[in-house]
Chains A and B, each alone.
Chain A
């Protein structure tokens, strides 16, 4: 067997592509579209991230606008999978209303469901989230639920019919990285639906460590958009997600509290 076979691209390809609700996606990195300096920068960063799923928000059209600010003037909906969020909603009723408005735009019936419970931390309201998930699943939505890193809530969301559960690494826009790897690992181990970590990733190493927990993907926005050079950071995040995924699949070496030499201990000169 030629050694070239061992390092052929086939051996480093992800054996299982990300599949959510029966749909296969080409990247495990999902990105938001908010907070960029310009639309051109956003488009360039998203392209560099390699993401297929991009999130968008539903807002009133500014009727006194000088220019049209609709995001679809800049993003080709044939090239990206648009995932509408319910960001800014503080009750199940509001979140359901926003999800319905998003679906009426006519792209798909998927929603990244957010029901926020606290203005300062933007942490999710588990009770409202569960209620909204039940309603939307009944109405035929594919719900990806943004939630706390709490196993019991995650299990309930799965039971309620969420097609993916999205626990946070740390609060939205905080860039604090993953605060509770144990909780994220536990959720991944216990759920059958894909687990996509959403929010809190601040830099590439954060993304890598998240993926090393074995989760199915990451959604991020501020970590890219608020970098000094968002396009370069998007490229770094793409590499980090792939590196973390590969490291998880490779299976890391066990941690040891003592050193173990890498070089032979025999054949030393002069002994």
Chain B
């Protein structure tokens, strides 16, 4: 059943996601804030896109749990013309 597979995934000890093109493994239940913390990034200085949707509300980062196969992009401003 679908429900069963969801349970199996959430009780697994790790979640595998893609961050800026590279696979990363985080403890299950990790949030977007946890991810940024593990990368030593300040949420105020970056923009996060999850599965092509921009996460505009930075205050939601601590509540948003990462799911397996999530594709995350973390961007900022760099020099350009």
CB contacts (< 8 Å) of B56 on chain A: these are 104
The docked-state distance in angstroms from the alpha carbon of A57 to that of B79 is 6
Q: Which bracket fits the contact residues of B? A: 20 to 34
Q: Which bracket fits the contact residues of A? A: 35 or more
Task: Decide if A61 touches B54 in the complex (CB within 8 Å).
Answer: no
Task: Decide if B81 touches A58 in the complex (CB within 8 Å).
Answer: no
The docked-state distance in angstroms from the alpha carbon of A55 to that of B81 is 6
Interface string of B39-57 (1 = CB under 8 A from A): 1010001110100101010
Task: Decide if B21 touches A101 in the complex (CB within 8 Å).
Answer: no
Give the number of residue pairs across the A-B interface with Cβ within 8 Å.
94
Q: Which of A45-68 contact B (CB under 8 A)?
A: 55-61, 63
CB contacts (< 8 Å) of A32 on chain B: these are 79-81
Task: Decide if B41 touches A56 in the complex (CB within 8 Å).
Answer: no
| Known A61-B41, A61-B46; contact A222-B79, beta-carbon cutoff 8 A | no
CB contacts (< 8 Å) of B64 on chain A: these are none
Which secondary structure dominates chain A's binding surface? mixed
A226 to chain B, nearest CB (A): 11
| Known A63-B22, A72-B45, A101-B47; contact A56-B77, beta-carbon cutoff 8 A | yes
Task: Decide if B79 touches A34 in the complex (CB within 8 Å).
Answer: yes
Which secondary structure dominates chain B's binding surface? strand
CB contacts (< 8 Å) of B52 on chain A: these are 97
Partner of B79, one of A35, A60, A63, A173: A35
A40 to chain B, nearest CB (A): 13
The docked-state distance in angstroms from the alpha carbon of A70 to that of B75 is 9
Given contacts A57-B78, A71-B78, 14 further A-B contacts (CB under 8 A): A32-B81, A34-B80, A34-B81, A42-B79, A55-B81, A56-B78, A60-B21, A60-B73, A60-B74, A71-B76, A82-B77, A85-B81, A101-B49, A102-B77
Residues on A lying within 8 angstroms of B by beta carbon are 32-36, 42, 55-61, 63, 69-72, 82, 84-85, 87, 97, 100-102, 104-105, 172-173, 199, 219-222
